[in-house]
Structure 1
Amino acid sequence: MDYGMQLPVQSLSTRFAEPWEAGAGVADLAEVARAADRLGFGYVACCDHVAVPERLAAAIGTTWYDPVATLAYLAGITRRVRLLSHVAIVGLRHPLAVAKQYATLDHLSGGRLVLGVGAGYVREEFEALGVDFARRGAVLDESMDALRAALGPAEFPAYEGELFAFRGLGQQPRPVQRPGPPLWVGGSSPAATRRAALRGDGWLPQGDRRERLPAQIGRIRRLRERAGLAAPFTFGAITEAVYVGEPAWNVGSRTLTGPAEAVAESLREYGAIGVDQVQVRFRSRSRAELLDQMAAFAGEVAPRLG
């Protein structure tokens, strides 16, 4: 199994950010990304919100770094780690504008972009940007189709749909990856898993515990088989929080802890049910502890994952 991680600092949602991140900054973000690159992590990921309404600010915060700007910055200080938007709410923007940004990112990074996309869930964000919240699923479906065209090899891509149409408009630079960067779909609703199966190159579950994954993976596989889709497809999972070793502090009841082999044995269950890559979130009280956990995972757990 491949493994990656959501970066700290770039989002301060209380759902997953550690307390130390509130006082951290760009230097901390950069050092974690460099460590991921050095240690062999498959990807680093960045979230996306344009603006957060006051009703949600206490729960998810208002700190959400822009994924294109952040990943472009990290592209310049890393060499091999892939750069994942997890997830970009592409329906908030015209697909030609999205393609311009992410094609440039893929070009600048030497072909390391993975474009993770999702429908979004914050009504006020859509309303402020003039996008129909009720139709966000249909908008994302067509946006993905348009992005397939706009991120392809053609300098003058063409697309004709219900919501978007373009022809005879050139965009350079083109992505390094051919036929284009992979599109991974985030979400665990029936609509999201169908979208992943029929339009995506991979699936990023949101909130599914491991016991739910076999049914979800089975559904996506059946949908792809019925549609005659045989191209490679990446199944992902977000693991429980991880702490390699025996913590001397309360890391929470659902955190995987213990010796490297015990952690690896638990994570190997994901591979057994069909998961290709896991996103790991480490418990930590400081940047130093996070870096230590990343090193312990890469050096002691990852070699045992198979």
Structure 2
Amino acid sequence: MSALAYGIQLPVQSQSTLYTEAWEAGAGPGDLVEVARAADRAGFDYLACCDHVAIPRRLAPSMSTVWYDPVATLAHLAAVTERVRLLSHVAVAGLRHPLLTAKQYATLDHLSGGRLILGVGAGHVREEFEVLGADFARRGALLDESIDALRAALGPEEFPEHHGKLYDFAGLGQRPRPAQPHVPLWVGGSSPAAVRRAALKGDGWLPQGDPRDRLPAQIARIRQLRAEQGVRGPFTVGALTEPLYVGRAGWDVGRRTLTGAPQALAESLRAYRAMGVHQVQVRFRSRCRAELIEQIDAFGAEVAPRLN
């Protein structure tokens, strides 16, 4: 059984009401830097950033309009960290031509010394697609072909080539090339189509909020699809954990939050590993940046060594 890795979705960068803490509304670049450095020190496998270009007024009360650009944010944080990997969770691939996406993320991988993990997803905001001239109704087909085109455009060739129904390019050079010989491409989403796409086209799967009891069936489906189609090679299964708080909070951290002693938290998280999960994405409850960094430090020092 492989070791269980752990990563973190950055605070501040996206501020949906589903998960944002109150202190993040007044936070900024300095807070992002300090949190990224803390995660780097604490042995986290990756920092993750979400992707939205523009939020329609109808969704702004729940989603907010605070969505830092993932490439710019991860590049900024790459310069102030040393080893932690950089994950787009997820880039909405259909909003941009694959050559544009490849240019941005190949540059990020080059500048960071090969730390990119490219997570992609179909997207869900109709108005975003419409204003950018992308076909919302065909977003699944856009993503399917984007993955194929990105494989070519992020490969070793200076002049990548792809000929498909939606995208067609050849004879156009792009440098710098990625520092990695193979950029991992993880696919996000939990619908049947997304799970199939991840299994057959991805190097990994990023579920979108599947509760624990739903994960075993999803993982079994991925294994079945890969076996039926003869798909081989490494594959990383991910999971989003419940919100966490290491130790006794002394304040209301919410009924869904896993809290308690490090050994109890580690025992709970080891259940993901037993299901066949390879990496967990964690999010900590906190009232300020200092408390979040304390939680990151405590997790790295006291919980992580007990995960495997």
TM-score, normalised relative to structure 1: 0.99
Q: Give 2:65's aligned residue.
A: 62
Q: Give 2:143's aligned residue.
A: 140
The one-letter code sitting in structure 2 at the alignment partner of 1:234 is: T
Matched position secondary structure for 1:54: coil
Root mean square deviation, CA, Å: 0.5
Matched position secondary structure for 2:282: strand
Matched position secondary structure for 1:51: coil
Q: Give 1:50's aligned residue.
A: 53
Q: Give 2:169's aligned residue.
A: 166
Q: Give 1:255's aligned residue.
A: 257
The one of 62, 81, 85 aligned to 1:82? 85
The one of 20, 25, 29 aligned to 2:23? 20
Q: Give 1:154's aligned residue.
A: 157
State the shift of 1:199 in Å. 0.5
Q: Give matches, 1:176-191, under 5 Å.
A: 176-178=179-181, 180-191=182-193
State the number of aligned residues. Answer: 305
Deviations 1:22-57 (A, max 9, x none): 011100010000111111100000100000000100
Q: Give 1:105's aligned residue.
A: 108
Deviations 1:160-208 (A, max 9, x none): 0000011111110000111x21110110000100000010000000010
The one-letter code sitting in structure 2 at the alignment partner of 1:258 is: G
Gaps of 5+ in 2: none
Gaps of 5+ in 1: none
Q: Give 1:30's aligned residue.
A: 33
Matched position secondary structure for 1:268: helix
Q: Give matches, 1:202-241, under 5 Å.
A: 202-241=204-243
Percent identity of paired positions between Structure 1 and Structure 2: 72
Question: Which structure 1 residue ranges, 4+ long, deviate > 3 Å from structure 2?
Answer: none
Matched position secondary structure for 1:282: coil
Q: Give 2:98's aligned residue.
A: 95
Equivalents in 2 of 1:215, 1:177: separation in Å?
A: 33
Equivalents in 2 of 1:300, 1:227: separation in Å?
A: 41
Q: Give 1:269's aligned residue.
A: 271
Deviations 1:64-104 (A, max 9, x none): 00001001111111110000000000110000010000000
Equivalents in 1 of 2:270, 2:71: separation in Å?
A: 32
Q: Give 1:293's aligned residue.
A: 295
